[in-house]
Structure 1
Amino acid sequence: MSILSPFPADEANDPDGAARRGAPRRTASDFARFAAFVEAEIGVRLSDAKRTMVDGRLRRRMSQLGISDLDGYFRHLFEDGALDEERTAIFDAVTTNKTDFFREPAHFDHLMDVAAPAAIARRSGTGQPVKVWSAAASTGAEAWSIAMCLASLAERDGAFNWAVLATDINTEVLAVARRAIYPESMLGPLRPEDRRRWMMQGHGDLRGSWRIVPELRRRVCFGQLNLMDFDFAIDTDIDVVFLRNVLIYFSAEDQTRLIDHIALHLAAGGTLYLGHSESMVAHCSDLRQVGPATFVKAE
């Protein structure tokens, strides 16, 4: 780390002074280029204030590459031509992955009481499962909460076929989600009966951890997906979509485009859940608001 003098240098005696004064501008330019790449690729906006966050989150990757600082990493991306091969590491670093079991619980109540029963009726006699998509799955707590609801509903009201698709851009969180092992500290939102029925307590090296039971793990499929691709290889008759707490990272234009595109993948009468702070961005003509951050596609 260099320490800059508080006094202006005499360029005649400090021939590198101009270069040093140019470095911050170079850094700012490279960060702006990096931020533009991220927004274009995955929709996440990075203001100048996020530079420190990006630096911290990329530290492990820089260490793996033998790069000492963010400026060096930017040179690696833009001068050494490594941008394409670093895509996954970049997207993993800049995406935020806050999640909890049964976060915003009113949505799960609505799923059990309204959305899932409507989907069961819609699928009756078709041989098709009730399809639910967790579109920004993070480490899986949302997808497993959905699975607990559907499995509990099947036990309560009669068996039906169902499947959950859970996607995210971040490969690291998807690995956690697939493993389905969580620390005791994450299980606070679970009802005691849900913990007993749907979680297995770890022993030995896994003491203090809990794993989702195989019965649910067989029903949930995880995969990487970039919501900004707008070319989803996903069914167009999904019964329920959870798209929560991800739109806040997108521009207004990208929010509108994504909502419109998600609606194309909803079955008629299907339900879309957004984050409670995002409900005002759903202006798609095919969607009707029926509750807090809860929308139904026209039939």
Structure 2
Amino acid sequence: MLASPSREFPFTTQDFEKIRKLIYDYAGIALSPGKEDMVYGRLARRLRALGLNSFGDYLHRLEQGDQGEFELFTNSLTTNLTSFFREGHHFPALAELLRAQREHGGVLQLWCSASSTGEEAWSMAITACEAFDSLTPPVQIIATDLDTHVLETARAGIYSADEVEKLDPARVRRFFVRQTDGRYQLRSELKSLVSFRQLNLIAQSWNIRGPFDAIFCRNVMIYFDKPTQNRILQRFSPLLKPTGLLFVGHSENLYHATDLFKLRGKTIYQKA
């Protein structure tokens, strides 16, 4: 028993292990043994919402095939920490790539593979506009995430003053419209550049096609074990153009996949 006198619901080691297996089988997320408190805290909200008395009852509901609840279960256990221009060294590299490719003509294709609440995808769109000095650059961005709830936020493109405060004021003026309630809405021209959709990176098939000029997959691999990481990287490789770049998170590296990708810059990779 993972007992605690302050816990509202019984939560056993068996419950935790079942949860670990469910989220790993569905999303590839490898929860470490030290995540018991995090799991309890996030899922206890679902028990309260459903009027259940134990994690055993909740797991039974999931195992009986309640797909709507399974989606909420998955959303509860995914982490969505993000911000505009997070890991800022990536965006000048993206701008350089876009400028280098524009002489070839055609529409440049980008994929933001873990878009969370949208700040990363919108940062990519802003970078494209600045690279081409136009609100209508020849760029299309596909932005995907497993969590359906955050995709709704991303698609709306509306953010609080706190969420945009670290942006250069000139960028805010150019790319956002201030609403009467004090929030900021992305301009319609930017919204036309990005298409949001749900995608599970460990699903048997992906509803997207390449080839892409760039793939952003940042701070996602840390939640997967090495075999899962390798399977995803093997699928990324044929989706990238020969000149395309893969951007990963600051704490991630692809040393275990040197047959697929070679280091091009700080946490930036190219096909081997």
TM-score where L is the length of structure 2: 0.90
Give runs of aligned pairs for residues 220-299 of structure 1, distance below 5 A. Answer: 220-281=194-255, 283-297=257-271
Q: Are 2:52 and 1:70 aligned?
A: no
Partner of 2:87: 104
In the alignment of these two chains, the number of paired residues is: 266
How far the C-alpha of 1:85 sits from its partner, in A, is 4.3
Q: Hey, what's the Cα distance between the residues in 2 that align with 1:196 and 1:29? A: 53
Q: Could you tell which deviates more after superposition, 261-270 or 66-75?
A: 66-75
**What's the CA shift for 1:297?**
2.4
Does residue 1:131 correspond to 2:71, yes or no? no
Q: List runs of 5+ in structure 1 lacking aligned partners.
A: 6-22
Structure 1 Cα separation of the partners of residues 222 and 196 of structure 2: 23
Write out aligned runs for 1:191-210 (5 A). Answer: 191-203=168-180, 206-207=181-182, 209-210=183-184
Identity of matched residues, %: 32
Pairing 1:188–2:154 present = no
* Aligned 8 A contact 2:142 2:194 in 1: yes
Q: CA RMSD in A?
A: 2.3
Q: Could you say what secondary structure the match of 2:142 adopts? A: strand
Letter in 1 for 2:107: P
1:88 alignment counterpart: 71
Q: Which residue of 1 aligns with 2:125?
A: 147
Contact kept, 8 Å, 1:259 with 1:284, in 2: the verdict is no
Q: Structure 1: how far apart are the matches of 2:185 and 2:43?
A: 29
- In 1, the alpha carbon distance for the partners of 2:170 and 2:68 equals 46
**What secondary structure does 2:227 align onto?**
helix
Distance 1:67 1:178 in 2: 33
Partner of 1:10: none
Q: Which amino acid aligns with 1:110?
A: A
Unaligned stretches of 5+ residues in structure 2: none
Q: 1:218 maps to what in 2?
A: 192
Structure with bigger gyration radius? 1
The alpha-carbon distance between structure 1 residues 184 and 152, as it changes in their structure 2 partners (threshold 3 A), is: same
Partner of residue 38, structure 1? 23
Measure the CA separation in 2 of the matches of 1:261 and 1:59.
Answer: 36
Partner of 1:12: none
Distance 1:66 1:256, change over 3 A: same
Q: Aligned-pair distance for 1:62? A: 2.4
* Counterpart Cα distance in 2 of 1:77 and 1:147: 38
Change (3 A) 1:233 1:76: closer
Tell me if the contact between 1:120 and 1:160 (Cα under 8 Å) persists in the aligned partners. Answer: no
